[in-house]
């Protein structure tokens, strides 16, 4: 596990920070450590984002807080001539299974339940791992971070479904579909976790790895 890291260390690979340099994250120009602004693009230079972990945790907690009402309250308010029903996310999945639409049920379940929760766990793990000993090596954690960033937007699929249905099915008294409180909560939760993932400074992974060595 630690073989690659050790191989890095044995080859004497050093970070820019250790070399007294700082790279601009936007244009890639390298400056001496301590330079405030990039000489090329005038962006602020930071060797490490000191507030990164704070932001990660703050967005993550906001996302988790909103994820609770997103699952308790109804996502869709369906009014038809004969009845009025409202379904939560998990209720909708159960209903889809009931109607034997296993494929759609699986998509909804993965996109709306598994991915958000997986993201919470993944981001929390990454945030903790830069402060403490990790069981995953640096490379694996980088892979995990990339995956979290990539997959995050797919959680919005449920929100899009609700938005489209609400816009399409407005047949006055016969049938109408309206978004519930959960739709907004869920959308915010997804957005916040995306922010959380973006706030994470992957360079911290290297530092933590070195520190722990």
Binding site for other proteins (CB under 8 A): 32, 34-36, 49-52, 54-55, 58-59, 61-62, 65-66, 68-69, 73, 81-83, 161, 164-165, 168-169, 174-175, 181, 185, 188, 192, 199
Find the shortest distance in angstroms from Cβ 82 to other proteins. Answer: 5
Nearer to other proteins, 33 or 121 (CB): 33
Q: What is the distance between the alpha carbons of residues 185 and 191, in angstroms, rounded to a whole number?
A: 10
Alpha helices (H) in 73-156, listed in sequence order: 89-98, 102-109, 115-129, 138-151
Find the shortest distance in angstroms from Cβ 194 to other proteins. Answer: 13
Find the shortest distance in angstroms from Cβ 151 to other proteins. Answer: 22
Find the shortest distance in angstroms from Cβ 122 to other proteins. Answer: 18
Nearer to other proteins, 12 or 34 (CB): 34
Q: What is the distance between the alpha carbons of residues 104 and 13, in angstroms, rounded to a whole number?
A: 49
Q: What is the distance between the alpha carbons of residues 177 and 170, in angstroms, rounded to a whole number?
A: 6
Contact 162, 76 (CB under 8 A): yes
Q: Is 73 helix (H, G, I), strand (E, B) or coil?
A: coil
Nearer to other proteins, 65 or 136 (CB): 65
Nearer to other proteins, 59 or 206 (CB): 59
For residue 80, list its beta bridge partners.
175
Find the shortest distance in angstroms from Cβ 22 to other proteins. Answer: 12
Find the shortest distance in angstroms from Cβ 47 to other proteins. Answer: 9
3-state helix, strand, coil in the chain (%, to 5): 60, 10, 30
Nearer to other proteins, 9 or 163 (CB): 163
User: Residue 200, exposed/middle/buried by CB under 10 A (0-12, 13-18, 19+)?
Assistant: buried
Contact 107, 157 (CB under 8 A): yes
Nearer to other proteins, 67 or 206 (CB): 67
């Amino acid at each position: 596990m630690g073989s690659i890291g050790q191989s890095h260390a044995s080859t004497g690979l050093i970070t820019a920070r250790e070399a007294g340099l700082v790279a601009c994250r936007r244009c890639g120009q390298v400056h001496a450590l301590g330079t405030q602004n990039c000489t090329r693009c005038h962006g602020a230079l930071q060797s490490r984002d000191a507030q990164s972990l704070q932001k990660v945790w703050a967005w993550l907690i906001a996302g988790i807080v909103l994820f609770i009402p997103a699952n308790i309250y109804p996502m869709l308010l369906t009014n038809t001539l004969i009845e009025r029903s409202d379904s939560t996310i998990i209720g909708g999945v159960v209903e889809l299974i009931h109607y034997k639409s296993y494929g759609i049920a699986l998509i909804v379940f993965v996109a709306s339940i598994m991915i958000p929760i997986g993201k919470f766990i993944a981001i929390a793990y990454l945030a903790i791992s830069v402060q403490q000993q990790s069981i995953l090596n640096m490379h694996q954690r980088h892979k995990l971070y990339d995956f979290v960033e990539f997959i995050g937007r797919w959680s919005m699929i449920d929100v899009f479904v609700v938005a489209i249905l609400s816009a399409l099915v407005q047949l006055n008294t016969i049938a109408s579909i309206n978004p519930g409180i959960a739709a907004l909560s869920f959308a915010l939760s997804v957005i916040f976790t995306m922010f959380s993932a973006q706030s994470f400074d992957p360079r911290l992974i290297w530092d933590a790895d070195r520190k722990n060595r």
